[in-house]
Amino acid sequence: MMGRLHLHIDPSMVYFLRFILEGYDNLFVLSTIDSKKGLVEIIYVENALNDLQALLDETGNFIGLVSNENNYKAV
């Protein structure tokens, strides 16, 4: 099964995050929703959600992740 996560990050970090996620060989796919606002969607393999959350916890400050009440918005 696949899951989707919407994030708001620093627009200048979209390509960096895409590069990092590509290193996980088909576990994650990043799509840009609005490049000027830094809105992205990550499609992930459901059993990789813990890895994705750990990655975002580690890189969140660097990529300018805007937190909400749950830090991430799964859709």
**pLDDT over 90 at 62, yes or no:** yes
How far does Cα 24 stand from its chain's mean position? 13
pTM of the shown model: 0.85
CB 21 within 8 A of CB 60: no
Check residue 37 and report its DSSP letter: T
Query: How high is the pLDDT of residue 8?
Result: 93
| Domains delineated in the chain | 2-74 (3.30.70)
Angle at 8 between CA 60 and CA 54, to 5 degrees: 30
| pLDDT exceeds cutoff 50 at 66 | yes
What pLDDT band is residue 69 in, cutting at 50, 70 and 90?
very low
**pLDDT tens sequence across 27-52:** 999 999 999 999 999 999 989 999 99
Residues 63, 41, 30, 2: is their CA dihedral positive or negative? positive
DSSP annotation string for 54-75: HHHHHHHHHHTPPP-TTSSEE-
